[in-house]
Structure 1
Amino acid sequence: MTVENIDRSKMTFEQAEGVHPLPRQLKLREVSPQLRAVLWDFVYSLLSGSSRDGNIVGRWAYILRDMHVQRFHRMADEFRPNAQRVFPDVKQVFAGGSYLEIFGFLEWALRHPHCPHDFAYQLDKRLRQCQAAYCVVNQDTISPISSEEERATIERAFANLASTEFNGARQHLKLAAQQATAGEWSACIRESINAVESTVRCIDPKAQDLRPALATLERQGTVHGSLKEGFLKLYGYASDEKGLRHSLAFDGVAKVDETDGLFMLGACASFVSYLINKGRAAGLIKE
Protein backbone atom coordinates (compact mmCIF):
# COMPACT_ATOMS: atom_id res chain seq x y z
CA MET A 1 0.00 0.00 0.00
CA THR A 2 1.52 3.30 -1.09
CA VAL A 3 1.27 6.67 0.63
CA GLU A 4 -0.97 7.90 -2.22
CA ASN A 5 -3.72 5.29 -1.85
CA ILE A 6 -4.04 4.73 1.91
CA ASP A 7 -7.20 5.95 3.65
CA ARG A 8 -5.83 7.74 6.70
CA SER A 9 -9.35 8.27 8.07
CA LYS A 10 -9.55 4.55 8.91
CA MET A 11 -6.33 4.30 10.90
CA THR A 12 -4.41 6.09 13.60
CA PHE A 13 -1.71 8.65 12.80
CA GLU A 14 0.95 6.16 13.92
CA GLN A 15 -0.46 3.44 11.67
CA ALA A 16 -0.63 5.78 8.68
CA GLU A 17 3.00 6.72 9.28
CA GLY A 18 4.03 3.08 9.40
CA VAL A 19 5.17 3.19 13.03
CA HIS A 20 2.35 1.00 14.41
CA PRO A 21 1.06 -2.12 12.60
CA LEU A 22 -2.28 -1.99 10.78
CA PRO A 23 -5.29 -3.67 12.44
CA ARG A 24 -5.59 -7.37 11.57
CA GLN A 25 -8.20 -10.08 11.86
CA LEU A 26 -7.77 -11.88 15.19
CA LYS A 27 -7.31 -15.64 15.25
CA LEU A 28 -9.61 -18.10 16.98
CA ARG A 29 -9.07 -18.13 20.75
CA GLU A 30 -7.16 -14.84 20.49
CA VAL A 31 -8.19 -11.90 22.67
CA SER A 32 -6.16 -8.79 21.97
CA PRO A 33 -5.51 -6.05 24.56
CA GLN A 34 -7.82 -3.83 22.52
CA LEU A 35 -10.64 -6.40 22.60
CA ARG A 36 -10.26 -6.88 26.35
CA ALA A 37 -10.38 -3.11 26.92
CA VAL A 38 -13.33 -2.50 24.59
CA LEU A 39 -15.41 -5.34 26.04
CA TRP A 40 -14.73 -4.28 29.62
CA ASP A 41 -15.61 -0.66 28.75
CA PHE A 42 -18.90 -1.94 27.32
CA VAL A 43 -19.78 -4.03 30.40
CA TYR A 44 -18.44 -1.39 32.83
CA SER A 45 -20.71 1.24 31.25
CA LEU A 46 -23.73 -1.03 31.67
CA LEU A 47 -22.89 -1.84 35.28
CA SER A 48 -22.22 1.82 36.07
CA GLY A 49 -25.59 2.75 34.60
CA SER A 50 -27.21 0.17 36.90
CA SER A 51 -25.49 1.44 40.05
CA ARG A 52 -27.55 3.28 42.68
CA ASP A 53 -26.21 4.36 46.08
CA GLY A 54 -23.24 2.01 45.73
CA ASN A 55 -25.25 -1.07 44.71
CA ILE A 56 -25.99 -2.75 41.38
CA VAL A 57 -29.77 -2.71 40.82
CA GLY A 58 -32.25 -3.66 38.11
CA ARG A 59 -31.47 -6.09 35.28
CA TRP A 60 -27.81 -6.50 36.11
CA ALA A 61 -28.52 -7.29 39.75
CA TYR A 62 -30.62 -10.26 38.57
CA ILE A 63 -28.05 -11.32 35.97
CA LEU A 64 -25.10 -11.18 38.37
CA ARG A 65 -26.92 -12.90 41.21
CA ASP A 66 -28.01 -15.76 38.96
CA MET A 67 -24.51 -15.96 37.52
CA HIS A 68 -23.11 -16.12 41.06
CA VAL A 69 -25.24 -19.19 41.80
CA GLN A 70 -25.83 -20.94 38.50
CA ARG A 71 -22.56 -20.28 36.64
CA PHE A 72 -19.99 -20.01 39.44
CA HIS A 73 -21.88 -22.32 41.85
CA ARG A 74 -21.49 -20.09 44.87
CA MET A 75 -23.89 -19.87 47.82
CA ALA A 76 -26.80 -17.48 47.27
CA ASP A 77 -26.50 -15.77 50.67
CA GLU A 78 -22.89 -14.83 49.84
CA PHE A 79 -23.89 -12.67 46.89
CA ARG A 80 -23.54 -8.94 47.51
CA PRO A 81 -24.60 -6.43 44.83
CA ASN A 82 -22.16 -3.87 46.25
CA ALA A 83 -20.52 -2.08 43.30
CA GLN A 84 -17.10 -1.89 44.96
CA ARG A 85 -17.15 -5.67 45.24
CA VAL A 86 -18.77 -6.50 41.90
CA PHE A 87 -16.69 -4.24 39.65
CA PRO A 88 -13.25 -5.76 40.47
CA ASP A 89 -14.61 -9.31 40.17
CA VAL A 90 -16.14 -8.73 36.74
CA LYS A 91 -13.18 -6.64 35.57
CA GLN A 92 -10.83 -9.54 36.29
CA VAL A 93 -12.75 -11.69 33.82
CA PHE A 94 -11.91 -9.24 31.02
CA ALA A 95 -8.48 -8.15 32.20
CA GLY A 96 -7.01 -11.56 32.93
CA GLY A 97 -9.51 -14.24 31.84
CA SER A 98 -9.07 -16.68 28.98
CA TYR A 99 -11.13 -16.36 25.82
CA LEU A 100 -13.43 -19.06 27.24
CA GLU A 101 -14.01 -17.11 30.45
CA ILE A 102 -14.66 -13.85 28.59
CA PHE A 103 -17.01 -15.22 25.94
CA GLY A 104 -18.58 -17.61 28.44
CA PHE A 105 -19.49 -14.65 30.68
CA LEU A 106 -20.92 -12.68 27.76
CA GLU A 107 -22.88 -15.58 26.30
CA TRP A 108 -24.35 -16.40 29.71
CA ALA A 109 -25.53 -12.79 29.99
CA LEU A 110 -26.93 -12.93 26.44
CA ARG A 111 -29.14 -15.88 27.41
CA HIS A 112 -30.42 -14.49 30.68
CA PRO A 113 -34.12 -13.48 30.71
CA HIS A 114 -33.16 -10.00 31.97
CA CYS A 115 -30.51 -9.38 29.29
CA PRO A 116 -30.93 -5.82 27.89
CA HIS A 117 -32.72 -5.84 24.54
CA ASP A 118 -29.83 -4.30 22.58
CA PHE A 119 -27.02 -6.16 24.37
CA ALA A 120 -26.49 -8.61 21.48
CA TYR A 121 -26.33 -5.84 18.87
CA GLN A 122 -23.96 -3.69 20.90
CA LEU A 123 -21.73 -6.66 21.73
CA ASP A 124 -21.53 -7.78 18.10
CA LYS A 125 -20.73 -4.23 17.06
CA ARG A 126 -17.69 -4.23 19.36
CA LEU A 127 -16.54 -7.66 18.20
CA ARG A 128 -16.57 -6.33 14.64
CA GLN A 129 -14.76 -3.17 15.71
CA CYS A 130 -11.91 -5.19 17.20
CA GLN A 131 -11.90 -7.69 14.31
CA ALA A 132 -12.56 -10.60 16.65
CA ALA A 133 -12.86 -14.10 15.18
CA TYR A 134 -16.30 -14.39 16.82
CA CYS A 135 -19.73 -12.90 16.30
CA VAL A 136 -23.19 -12.99 17.91
CA VAL A 137 -25.76 -15.14 16.09
CA ASN A 138 -29.39 -15.80 16.93
CA GLN A 139 -29.20 -12.95 19.49
CA ASP A 140 -27.95 -15.38 22.15
CA THR A 141 -24.95 -17.36 20.87
CA ILE A 142 -21.31 -16.45 20.27
CA SER A 143 -19.97 -18.29 17.24
CA PRO A 144 -16.54 -18.39 15.58
CA ILE A 145 -16.38 -17.11 12.01
CA SER A 146 -13.66 -17.22 9.37
CA SER A 147 -15.10 -14.50 7.14
CA GLU A 148 -17.96 -12.03 6.74
CA GLU A 149 -19.47 -14.41 4.18
CA GLU A 150 -19.58 -17.18 6.77
CA ARG A 151 -21.21 -14.80 9.26
CA ALA A 152 -23.92 -14.03 6.71
CA THR A 153 -24.45 -17.74 6.01
CA ILE A 154 -24.92 -18.63 9.68
CA GLU A 155 -27.17 -15.65 10.35
CA ARG A 156 -29.30 -16.55 7.32
CA ALA A 157 -29.64 -20.13 8.55
CA PHE A 158 -30.89 -18.97 11.96
CA ALA A 159 -33.35 -16.62 10.23
CA ASN A 160 -34.67 -19.50 8.11
CA LEU A 161 -35.02 -21.64 11.24
CA ALA A 162 -37.11 -19.05 13.06
CA SER A 163 -40.36 -21.01 12.66
CA THR A 164 -41.46 -23.20 15.58
CA GLU A 165 -41.37 -26.34 13.41
CA PHE A 166 -37.58 -25.93 13.06
CA ASN A 167 -36.93 -25.58 16.79
CA GLY A 168 -34.93 -28.82 16.92
CA ALA A 169 -32.67 -27.83 14.03
CA ARG A 170 -32.21 -24.38 15.53
CA GLN A 171 -31.08 -25.87 18.84
CA HIS A 172 -28.61 -28.21 17.11
CA LEU A 173 -27.13 -25.33 15.10
CA LYS A 174 -26.85 -23.26 18.27
CA LEU A 175 -25.03 -26.14 19.98
CA ALA A 176 -22.73 -26.49 16.97
CA ALA A 177 -21.74 -22.84 17.28
CA GLN A 178 -21.22 -23.26 21.02
CA GLN A 179 -18.98 -26.30 20.53
CA ALA A 180 -17.00 -24.45 17.88
CA THR A 181 -16.37 -21.56 20.26
CA ALA A 182 -15.13 -24.08 22.85
CA GLY A 183 -12.85 -25.70 20.25
CA GLU A 184 -14.71 -29.03 20.39
CA TRP A 185 -14.56 -29.65 16.65
CA SER A 186 -15.87 -33.20 16.60
CA ALA A 187 -18.94 -32.15 18.61
CA CYS A 188 -19.34 -29.07 16.38
CA ILE A 189 -19.53 -31.26 13.26
CA ARG A 190 -21.87 -33.72 14.95
CA GLU A 191 -24.33 -31.00 15.96
CA SER A 192 -24.06 -29.34 12.53
CA ILE A 193 -25.09 -32.62 10.88
CA ASN A 194 -27.85 -33.06 13.48
CA ALA A 195 -29.22 -29.66 12.43
CA VAL A 196 -29.39 -30.90 8.83
CA GLU A 197 -31.11 -34.15 9.86
CA SER A 198 -33.65 -32.29 11.96
CA THR A 199 -34.44 -30.02 9.01
CA VAL A 200 -34.77 -33.07 6.77
CA ARG A 201 -37.55 -34.47 8.97
CA CYS A 202 -39.60 -31.36 8.27
CA ILE A 203 -39.46 -32.28 4.57
CA ASP A 204 -40.00 -36.01 5.10
CA PRO A 205 -41.15 -36.89 8.65
CA LYS A 206 -40.32 -40.57 8.08
CA ALA A 207 -36.73 -39.91 6.97
CA GLN A 208 -34.00 -41.15 9.29
CA ASP A 209 -31.21 -39.48 7.32
CA LEU A 210 -30.61 -37.24 4.34
CA ARG A 211 -31.13 -39.67 1.44
CA PRO A 212 -34.96 -40.04 1.50
CA ALA A 213 -35.51 -36.28 1.80
CA LEU A 214 -33.18 -35.52 -1.12
CA ALA A 215 -34.88 -38.26 -3.13
CA THR A 216 -38.22 -36.57 -2.44
CA LEU A 217 -36.85 -33.21 -3.60
CA GLU A 218 -35.34 -34.86 -6.68
CA ARG A 219 -38.73 -36.35 -7.61
CA GLN A 220 -40.25 -32.89 -7.22
CA GLY A 221 -37.65 -31.62 -9.70
CA THR A 222 -36.12 -29.14 -7.26
CA VAL A 223 -32.73 -30.89 -6.83
CA HIS A 224 -30.53 -32.17 -9.64
CA GLY A 225 -29.38 -35.79 -9.31
CA SER A 226 -25.66 -34.95 -9.49
CA LEU A 227 -26.03 -32.26 -6.85
CA LYS A 228 -27.90 -34.73 -4.66
CA GLU A 229 -25.02 -37.21 -4.90
CA GLY A 230 -22.53 -34.50 -3.94
CA PHE A 231 -24.53 -33.66 -0.82
CA LEU A 232 -24.73 -37.35 0.12
CA LYS A 233 -20.97 -37.81 -0.18
CA LEU A 234 -20.30 -34.86 2.10
CA TYR A 235 -22.90 -36.17 4.51
CA GLY A 236 -21.30 -39.60 4.34
CA TYR A 237 -17.93 -38.21 5.39
CA ALA A 238 -19.40 -36.64 8.52
CA SER A 239 -21.43 -39.74 9.30
CA ASP A 240 -18.60 -42.25 8.83
CA GLU A 241 -15.68 -40.52 10.59
CA LYS A 242 -15.27 -42.13 14.02
CA GLY A 243 -16.19 -39.86 16.87
CA LEU A 244 -18.49 -37.59 14.91
CA ARG A 245 -21.77 -39.47 15.16
CA HIS A 246 -20.82 -41.73 18.10
CA SER A 247 -18.87 -39.44 20.40
CA LEU A 248 -19.54 -41.41 23.56
CA ALA A 249 -18.00 -44.52 22.05
CA PHE A 250 -15.14 -42.91 20.15
CA ASP A 251 -14.45 -39.70 22.03
CA GLY A 252 -11.18 -38.15 20.95
CA VAL A 253 -10.69 -40.55 18.00
CA ALA A 254 -12.14 -38.47 15.17
CA LYS A 255 -9.42 -36.93 13.01
CA VAL A 256 -10.94 -33.50 12.63
CA ASP A 257 -9.55 -30.07 13.38
CA GLU A 258 -10.45 -26.39 13.35
CA THR A 259 -10.52 -26.22 9.54
CA ASP A 260 -12.89 -29.20 9.31
CA GLY A 261 -15.14 -27.87 12.06
CA LEU A 262 -15.53 -24.36 10.65
CA PHE A 263 -16.10 -25.72 7.15
CA MET A 264 -18.83 -28.11 8.30
CA LEU A 265 -20.51 -25.48 10.47
CA GLY A 266 -20.71 -23.09 7.53
CA ALA A 267 -21.59 -25.82 5.02
CA CYS A 268 -24.36 -27.27 7.18
CA ALA A 269 -25.76 -23.81 7.98
CA SER A 270 -25.89 -23.11 4.24
CA PHE A 271 -27.38 -26.55 3.57
CA VAL A 272 -30.12 -26.00 6.16
CA SER A 273 -31.17 -22.80 4.37
CA TYR A 274 -31.01 -24.62 1.04
CA LEU A 275 -33.22 -27.47 2.24
CA ILE A 276 -35.81 -25.13 3.74
CA ASN A 277 -36.06 -22.99 0.62
CA LYS A 278 -36.18 -26.02 -1.67
CA GLY A 279 -38.77 -27.67 0.56
CA ARG A 280 -40.95 -24.57 0.46
CA ALA A 281 -40.58 -24.32 -3.33
CA ALA A 282 -41.75 -27.93 -3.63
CA GLY A 283 -44.68 -27.32 -1.29
CA LEU A 284 -43.29 -29.75 1.30
CA ILE A 285 -42.79 -27.06 3.94
CA LYS A 286 -45.39 -24.41 4.65
CA GLU A 287 -44.42 -20.75 4.61
Structure 2
Amino acid sequence: MRFSERIGQRKTKVDIQIDYIDEGLQNSLWNLILKFIIEPLRKERYWKYSELEYFIESLWFNHFKEPLDEIPSSTIDIKSLLRSRFYSWDYLEIYDLIDFIARTEQQYLPFDKDIYISNCNSILKKELSGYRFVNNQLAPITNEIEINEIEKALSNSLENNYRGVHIHLSEALKKLSDKNNPDYRNSIKESISAVESVCQQITGDKNSELGKTLKKLKQILPIHGALEQGFKKLYGYTSDGDGIRHAMMEEDNLDQEDALYMLISCSSFTNYLISKANKLGIEIIK
Protein backbone atom coordinates (compact mmCIF):
# COMPACT_ATOMS: atom_id res chain seq x y z
CA MET A 1 0.00 0.00 0.00
CA ARG A 2 1.35 3.42 -0.96
CA PHE A 3 2.25 6.03 1.66
CA SER A 4 -0.45 8.38 0.36
CA GLU A 5 -3.05 5.64 0.78
CA ARG A 6 -1.90 4.73 4.29
CA ILE A 7 -2.31 8.31 5.51
CA GLY A 8 -5.62 8.74 3.71
CA GLN A 9 -4.55 11.32 1.14
CA ARG A 10 -5.43 9.00 -1.73
CA LYS A 11 -8.34 6.58 -1.89
CA THR A 12 -7.24 2.99 -1.38
CA LYS A 13 -8.10 0.73 -4.30
CA VAL A 14 -9.04 -2.83 -3.47
CA ASP A 15 -7.16 -4.79 -6.12
CA ILE A 16 -9.50 -7.76 -6.42
CA GLN A 17 -10.03 -8.21 -10.15
CA ILE A 18 -13.75 -8.16 -10.87
CA ASP A 19 -14.31 -6.15 -14.06
CA TYR A 20 -10.83 -6.41 -15.52
CA ILE A 21 -7.87 -8.75 -15.94
CA ASP A 22 -4.37 -7.39 -15.43
CA GLU A 23 -1.31 -8.49 -17.39
CA GLY A 24 -0.17 -11.03 -14.80
CA LEU A 25 -3.52 -12.81 -14.71
CA GLN A 26 -3.92 -12.68 -18.48
CA ASN A 27 -0.48 -14.19 -19.06
CA SER A 28 -1.08 -16.90 -16.46
CA LEU A 29 -4.40 -17.89 -18.04
CA TRP A 30 -2.82 -17.96 -21.49
CA ASN A 31 -0.12 -20.26 -20.15
CA LEU A 32 -2.90 -22.63 -19.10
CA ILE A 33 -4.27 -22.57 -22.65
CA LEU A 34 -0.78 -23.38 -23.90
CA LYS A 35 -0.38 -26.26 -21.45
CA PHE A 36 -3.78 -27.91 -21.85
CA ILE A 37 -4.86 -27.01 -25.39
CA ILE A 38 -2.01 -25.82 -27.61
CA GLU A 39 0.66 -28.35 -26.64
CA PRO A 40 -1.58 -31.44 -27.13
CA LEU A 41 -2.87 -29.89 -30.35
CA ARG A 42 0.60 -29.39 -31.81
CA LYS A 43 1.44 -33.08 -31.57
CA GLU A 44 -0.14 -33.25 -35.01
CA ARG A 45 0.33 -30.97 -37.98
CA TYR A 46 -3.40 -30.73 -38.68
CA TRP A 47 -6.14 -30.40 -36.05
CA LYS A 48 -8.35 -32.95 -37.87
CA TYR A 49 -5.89 -35.67 -36.83
CA SER A 50 -5.34 -34.46 -33.28
CA GLU A 51 -6.76 -35.53 -29.91
CA LEU A 52 -8.59 -32.21 -29.83
CA GLU A 53 -10.49 -32.60 -33.09
CA TYR A 54 -13.91 -32.53 -31.42
CA PHE A 55 -12.92 -29.69 -29.09
CA ILE A 56 -11.70 -27.45 -31.94
CA GLU A 57 -14.83 -28.13 -33.95
CA SER A 58 -17.02 -27.43 -30.93
CA LEU A 59 -15.04 -24.28 -30.13
CA TRP A 60 -15.79 -22.84 -33.58
CA PHE A 61 -19.35 -24.18 -33.83
CA ASN A 62 -20.67 -23.64 -30.29
CA HIS A 63 -18.45 -20.93 -28.82
CA PHE A 64 -17.21 -18.68 -31.62
CA LYS A 65 -20.28 -19.51 -33.77
CA GLU A 66 -18.24 -19.17 -36.93
CA PRO A 67 -18.18 -21.25 -40.15
CA LEU A 68 -16.33 -24.53 -39.71
CA ASP A 69 -14.68 -24.17 -43.10
CA GLU A 70 -12.90 -21.07 -41.81
CA ILE A 71 -10.97 -23.05 -39.20
CA PRO A 72 -7.27 -22.95 -40.13
CA SER A 73 -6.18 -26.44 -41.09
CA SER A 74 -2.72 -26.15 -39.51
CA THR A 75 -2.38 -26.51 -35.75
CA ILE A 76 0.29 -23.81 -35.80
CA ASP A 77 -2.14 -21.41 -37.46
CA ILE A 78 -4.81 -22.24 -34.87
CA LYS A 79 -2.38 -21.42 -32.10
CA SER A 80 -1.52 -18.06 -33.72
CA LEU A 81 -5.18 -17.22 -34.21
CA LEU A 82 -6.17 -18.13 -30.65
CA ARG A 83 -3.26 -16.15 -29.21
CA SER A 84 -4.13 -13.10 -31.29
CA ARG A 85 -7.75 -13.24 -30.17
CA PHE A 86 -6.91 -13.98 -26.54
CA TYR A 87 -4.73 -10.87 -26.21
CA SER A 88 -7.32 -8.66 -27.92
CA TRP A 89 -10.26 -9.82 -25.78
CA ASP A 90 -11.72 -8.08 -22.75
CA TYR A 91 -11.94 -9.90 -19.42
CA LEU A 92 -15.38 -11.38 -20.15
CA GLU A 93 -14.27 -12.97 -23.41
CA ILE A 94 -11.20 -14.47 -21.73
CA TYR A 95 -13.31 -15.95 -18.94
CA ASP A 96 -15.80 -17.22 -21.53
CA LEU A 97 -13.06 -19.33 -23.10
CA ILE A 98 -11.71 -20.57 -19.76
CA ASP A 99 -15.24 -21.54 -18.75
CA PHE A 100 -15.99 -23.20 -22.12
CA ILE A 101 -13.02 -25.54 -21.73
CA ALA A 102 -14.22 -26.57 -18.25
CA ARG A 103 -17.74 -27.30 -19.56
CA THR A 104 -16.50 -29.51 -22.41
CA GLU A 105 -17.29 -33.16 -21.77
CA GLN A 106 -14.35 -35.13 -20.37
CA GLN A 107 -14.45 -37.72 -23.15
CA TYR A 108 -13.51 -35.05 -25.70
CA LEU A 109 -10.48 -33.77 -23.82
CA PRO A 110 -6.99 -35.37 -23.73
CA PHE A 111 -6.40 -34.21 -20.14
CA ASP A 112 -8.05 -34.58 -16.76
CA LYS A 113 -10.58 -31.77 -16.52
CA ASP A 114 -10.37 -31.72 -12.71
CA ILE A 115 -6.63 -30.96 -12.97
CA TYR A 116 -7.37 -28.14 -15.43
CA ILE A 117 -9.97 -26.63 -13.07
CA SER A 118 -7.64 -26.99 -10.08
CA ASN A 119 -4.87 -25.20 -12.02
CA CYS A 120 -7.30 -22.44 -13.00
CA ASN A 121 -8.46 -21.91 -9.43
CA SER A 122 -4.87 -21.76 -8.17
CA ILE A 123 -4.10 -18.97 -10.65
CA LEU A 124 -7.37 -17.11 -10.03
CA LYS A 125 -6.70 -17.20 -6.31
CA LYS A 126 -3.05 -16.13 -6.52
CA GLU A 127 -3.80 -13.26 -8.89
CA LEU A 128 -6.75 -12.01 -6.75
CA SER A 129 -9.45 -12.65 -9.31
CA GLY A 130 -13.01 -12.19 -8.14
CA TYR A 131 -14.00 -15.53 -9.73
CA ARG A 132 -13.53 -19.24 -9.06
CA PHE A 133 -14.69 -22.52 -10.56
CA VAL A 134 -17.52 -23.98 -8.48
CA ASN A 135 -19.02 -27.29 -9.65
CA ASN A 136 -17.12 -26.97 -12.94
CA GLN A 137 -18.58 -23.52 -13.69
CA LEU A 138 -16.89 -20.16 -13.32
CA ALA A 139 -18.70 -18.12 -10.67
CA PRO A 140 -18.15 -14.81 -8.82
CA ILE A 141 -16.91 -14.98 -5.23
CA THR A 142 -17.46 -11.26 -4.63
CA ASN A 143 -18.99 -8.25 -6.37
CA GLU A 144 -18.49 -4.53 -6.91
CA ILE A 145 -20.84 -3.58 -4.04
CA GLU A 146 -18.79 -5.61 -1.56
CA ILE A 147 -15.52 -4.13 -2.82
CA ASN A 148 -17.00 -0.63 -2.54
CA GLU A 149 -17.95 -1.40 1.06
CA ILE A 150 -14.27 -2.03 1.91
CA GLU A 151 -13.13 1.14 0.14
CA LYS A 152 -15.89 3.14 1.86
CA ALA A 153 -14.83 1.82 5.28
CA LEU A 154 -11.23 2.85 4.66
CA SER A 155 -12.34 6.37 3.70
CA ASN A 156 -15.02 6.67 6.41
CA SER A 157 -12.66 5.69 9.19
CA LEU A 158 -10.15 8.41 8.34
CA GLU A 159 -12.68 11.12 7.60
CA ASN A 160 -14.38 10.53 10.95
CA ASN A 161 -11.22 10.18 13.07
CA TYR A 162 -11.38 6.40 13.58
CA ARG A 163 -7.68 6.04 12.86
CA GLY A 164 -7.38 2.67 14.59
CA VAL A 165 -10.11 1.28 12.37
CA HIS A 166 -8.30 2.54 9.29
CA ILE A 167 -5.01 0.99 10.37
CA HIS A 168 -6.59 -2.40 11.08
CA LEU A 169 -8.56 -2.50 7.82
CA SER A 170 -5.51 -1.38 5.84
CA GLU A 171 -3.44 -4.17 7.38
CA ALA A 172 -6.22 -6.72 6.75
CA LEU A 173 -6.31 -5.72 3.09
CA LYS A 174 -2.52 -5.74 2.80
CA LYS A 175 -2.21 -9.23 4.27
CA LEU A 176 -5.04 -10.55 2.09
CA SER A 177 -3.68 -8.96 -1.10
CA ASP A 178 -0.07 -10.09 -0.82
CA LYS A 179 0.30 -12.28 -3.92
CA ASN A 180 3.62 -13.77 -2.83
CA ASN A 181 2.93 -14.43 0.84
CA PRO A 182 -0.75 -13.93 1.80
CA ASP A 183 -1.46 -14.08 5.54
CA TYR A 184 -5.13 -15.04 5.86
CA ARG A 185 -4.97 -15.73 9.59
CA ASN A 186 -3.70 -12.29 10.48
CA SER A 187 -5.90 -10.61 7.88
CA ILE A 188 -8.91 -12.02 9.75
CA LYS A 189 -7.38 -10.84 13.02
CA GLU A 190 -6.99 -7.29 11.69
CA SER A 191 -10.55 -7.23 10.30
CA ILE A 192 -12.18 -8.19 13.60
CA SER A 193 -9.81 -5.80 15.41
CA ALA A 194 -11.23 -2.97 13.26
CA VAL A 195 -14.71 -3.72 14.63
CA GLU A 196 -13.33 -3.87 18.15
CA SER A 197 -11.61 -0.51 17.62
CA VAL A 198 -14.74 1.29 16.37
CA CYS A 199 -16.73 -0.09 19.32
CA GLN A 200 -14.06 1.05 21.77
CA GLN A 201 -14.02 4.58 20.37
CA ILE A 202 -17.81 4.96 20.39
CA THR A 203 -18.19 3.57 23.92
CA GLY A 204 -15.15 5.40 25.25
CA ASP A 205 -13.68 2.17 26.62
CA LYS A 206 -10.38 1.43 24.93
CA ASN A 207 -9.51 -1.51 27.16
CA SER A 208 -12.50 -3.84 26.70
CA GLU A 209 -12.53 -6.69 24.20
CA LEU A 210 -15.22 -6.87 21.55
CA GLY A 211 -17.73 -9.00 23.43
CA LYS A 212 -17.94 -6.49 26.30
CA THR A 213 -17.90 -3.37 24.12
CA LEU A 214 -20.81 -4.71 22.05
CA LYS A 215 -22.91 -4.84 25.23
CA LYS A 216 -21.98 -1.25 26.08
CA LEU A 217 -22.52 -0.19 22.48
CA LYS A 218 -26.11 -1.44 22.54
CA GLN A 219 -26.83 0.97 25.38
CA ILE A 220 -25.62 3.89 23.26
CA LEU A 221 -26.72 2.95 19.74
CA PRO A 222 -30.01 1.32 18.68
CA ILE A 223 -28.40 -1.84 17.27
CA HIS A 224 -30.63 -4.74 16.29
CA GLY A 225 -30.10 -7.77 18.52
CA ALA A 226 -29.41 -10.03 15.54
CA LEU A 227 -26.51 -7.81 14.45
CA GLU A 228 -25.09 -7.83 17.95
CA GLN A 229 -25.33 -11.60 18.16
CA GLY A 230 -23.89 -12.01 14.68
CA PHE A 231 -20.71 -10.17 15.56
CA LYS A 232 -20.44 -11.88 18.90
CA LYS A 233 -20.38 -15.16 16.98
CA LEU A 234 -17.79 -13.82 14.54
CA TYR A 235 -15.70 -12.76 17.50
CA GLY A 236 -16.08 -16.25 18.95
CA TYR A 237 -14.81 -17.64 15.64
CA THR A 238 -11.59 -15.69 16.14
CA SER A 239 -11.17 -16.52 19.84
CA ASP A 240 -10.92 -19.59 22.05
CA GLY A 241 -13.11 -20.42 25.03
CA ASP A 242 -10.96 -18.39 27.42
CA GLY A 243 -11.12 -15.27 25.28
CA ILE A 244 -7.49 -15.56 24.20
CA ARG A 245 -7.68 -13.92 20.79
CA HIS A 246 -7.12 -16.05 17.69
CA ALA A 247 -5.62 -19.07 19.46
CA MET A 248 -8.14 -21.40 17.81
CA MET A 249 -7.56 -20.24 14.24
CA GLU A 250 -5.42 -22.86 12.57
CA GLU A 251 -3.72 -21.48 9.48
CA ASP A 252 -4.25 -24.67 7.50
CA ASN A 253 -8.02 -24.28 7.84
CA LEU A 254 -8.14 -20.69 6.57
CA ASP A 255 -8.28 -19.56 2.98
CA GLN A 256 -8.64 -16.44 0.87
CA GLU A 257 -12.43 -16.74 0.92
CA ASP A 258 -12.45 -16.73 4.74
CA ALA A 259 -10.29 -13.61 4.93
CA LEU A 260 -12.27 -11.83 2.21
CA TYR A 261 -15.58 -12.63 3.90
CA MET A 262 -14.32 -11.24 7.21
CA LEU A 263 -12.92 -8.10 5.59
CA ILE A 264 -16.20 -7.39 3.78
CA SER A 265 -18.34 -8.15 6.85
CA CYS A 266 -16.23 -6.08 9.23
CA SER A 267 -15.99 -3.18 6.75
CA SER A 268 -19.76 -3.16 6.38
CA PHE A 269 -20.29 -3.22 10.15
CA THR A 270 -17.84 -0.38 10.79
CA ASN A 271 -19.59 1.71 8.11
CA TYR A 272 -22.91 1.00 9.81
CA LEU A 273 -21.64 1.95 13.29
CA ILE A 274 -19.87 5.13 12.12
CA SER A 275 -23.03 6.23 10.31
CA LYS A 276 -25.19 5.53 13.40
CA ALA A 277 -22.80 7.39 15.70
CA ASN A 278 -22.70 10.39 13.34
CA LYS A 279 -26.49 10.61 13.16
CA LEU A 280 -26.76 10.64 16.96
CA GLY A 281 -23.96 13.20 17.27
CA ILE A 282 -21.90 10.96 19.56
CA GLU A 283 -18.58 12.43 20.64
CA ILE A 284 -15.93 9.76 20.18
CA ILE A 285 -12.59 9.38 21.89
CA LYS A 286 -9.65 9.81 19.51
- The interval holding the TM-score normalised by the smaller chain is 0.3 to 0.5
Q: TM-score, normalised by structure 2?
A: 0.46
Q: Rg bigger for which structure?
A: 2
> Normalising by the residue count of structure 1, what TM-score does the alignment of the two structures yield?
0.45
